[in-house]
Amino acid sequence: MGVTVRVPAVLRALVGGRAELAVPAGLLRDVLDAVGRESPELLSRVLAQEGSLRRHVNVFVNEEDVRFRELLDTPVREGDCVTIVPSIAGGR
């Protein structure tokens, strides 16, 4: 069954227009590695050079932000859904 990685419309150009990718389960870092094999461009926009999540990008496993779980060590199980979402913020 694997894991579904949902790609929002704003990033689909990086994965040939696909809305979803199917990859094997594992830790989030394994899932992102698999994403990187499909689209190194997308992965380079999610992870900084040192391998941590970029500041302006959020990754959710199901409905949970991985920053409040175990970051790249968050387990992603069969049937889970991973969503990559750039953040929009600002202020005075």
Identity at 5, one-letter amino acid code: V
Q: How far is the CB of 23 from other proteins (least distance, A)?
A: 20
DSSP code for 69:
T
Tokens at 81, concatenated: 């859904």
In whole angstroms, the minimum distance from the beta carbon of 91 to other proteins comes to 3
Per-residue x/- mask for other proteins, residues 6 to 45, rule CB under 8 A? --xxxx---------------------------------x
Q: Which residues pair with 6 in a beta bridge?
A: 20, 83
Binding other proteins (rule: CB under 8 A), the pick from 25, 27, 57, 72 is: 57
Question: Closest separation between CB of residue 80 and other proteins, Å?
Answer: 17
What number of other Cβ atoms are within 10 A of residue 12's Cβ? Answer: 14
Shortest CB 55 distance to other proteins, Å: 8
Residues making contact with other proteins (CB under 8 A):
8-11, 45, 54, 56-58, 60, 67-68, 85-92
